[in-house]
Structure 1
Amino acid sequence: MLLQEEVVGRDAATFADAPREREFPTGKTFSSWRPEESSIPEAIQNALTTLEWVHRRENLAVSGASGTGKGHFVEALAHAAIEADLRVLWFTLETLTQTANNAKADGSVARTVAKVCSCDLVVVDDIGVLPAGQEAAEAFYRIVDAAYERRSVAVTSNIHPSKAHLFA
């Protein structure tokens, strides 16, 4: 009985420490999503909502002009992932850069990158909204490199994918 109580306690602590909705920007889910109004073909929306791409450790890039719903769609995917008991972290490029800078300051870069990449899905929202410099490029690279074929990374951007120079 004591062992069972320990397991219950650890599960509760793990759940309490896990990234949850509080870290997401708006709380948008598929309950408020209107698939027929999106420029993403419905068949692709349906395929992405299965989250098979996360289980296969594939990445997702959604680009479009500001206000087109790319953040809403990816946030809804992230909420769906949490509901499927997957671990999710949400960053803007600015908050990712700040996280990396804080880790540099205390010498914990490798540990921080490992912690971020311990999640099943890492979202980096709004690349291109603000100018990004070398620190942002480095932070983004570290996460993408560490997650490669191990975790899924979802990125939203208002920059068209044909513009290969995301960082100046």
Structure 2
Amino acid sequence: MKNTSKKNNNFKAPDTGLNSADAERRKTEGRSNFVELLPMEVTFKIFSQLDIQSLCRASGTCTSWNHVIRNNDSLWKPHCLTVRAVCQKEIDDDIESGYTWRVILLRNYQKSRVKHEWLSGRYSNIRSPVSLPEKAMCPMDADTWGEILDAELERETEKWQ
């Protein structure tokens, strides 16, 4: 059987005035450097919608994103204030010491997660240090451990009443 289909060899793509290298370069620039193309207010608004994990990932995307995210303290402040709900004393001390919001968050984020888990009773039923997951420990001051101990004692008291 004979193939009767005919190809239209007369079709030409419209001439855009760009060679393929220019087109590829512009496509790549537009995709990775919107930070440089948009007004800073718009860029900050976009980045301010990200959660902590996404903001950290975005800062690793490219140099221009990293520069904008790393050097804009107002992007880190709301996340830091959320952590402050658990680590008020630690955050306030760091603010008084003059740390940037980003540094304060880096210093206290893991601690706030661990402290929150301890205070919520996640580790109340663990009877041996060997049973504790490694992520359940991090350096904390005596006041923090005092808060955790008070919460544990209160839970134990409630059990016996």
TM-score (norm 1): 0.26
**Larger Rg, first or second structure (1 or 2):** 2
TM-score scaled to structure 2, two decimals?
0.27
More helix by share: 2
